[in-house]
């Protein structure tokens, strides 16, 4: 087991052994998932279709006619 402490900003260092195992480098994206009160950490590829698809349900609050009109030119 590897242990890290949280900073005041809620940040933690990922131990070197885990970074090496997941091939994590500065600037890489990581995702967190909670399963049975345990956190799973995953490396996110530059574009992970399944990960982005899973976010769709969390974005429904911005799926309105008003938002479409307000942000149509972005």
- CA 48 to chain CA centroid, Å, is 11
What pTM does this model have?
0.57
Q: In CATH, what is the architecture of 16-70?
A: Ribbon (2.10)
Tokens 């006619």 locate to 65
pLDDT tens for residues 40-74?
Answer: 999 988 777 788 888 888 877 777 888 888 888 88
pLDDT tens for residues 12-27?
Answer: 999 999 999 999 999 8
Domain ranges within the chain, ordered by starting residue:
16-70
The backbone torsions φ and ψ at residue 31, rounded to the nearest 5 degrees and listed phi first, read: -120, 150
Query: CA 35 to CA 8: how far, in whole Å?
Result: 25
Measuring CA to CA, which residue among 33, 49, 29 is closest to residue 41?
33
């Amino acid at each position: 087991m590897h242990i890290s402490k949280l900073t005041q900003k809620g940040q933690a260092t990922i131990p070197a052994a885990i970074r090496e195992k997941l091939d994590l480098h500065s600037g890489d994206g990581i995702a967190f998932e909670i399963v049975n009160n345990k956190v799973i950490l995953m490396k996110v590829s530059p574009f992970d279709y399944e990960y982005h698809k899973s976010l769709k349900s969390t974005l429904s609050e911005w799926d309105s006619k008003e938002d479409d009109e307000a942000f149509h030119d972005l």
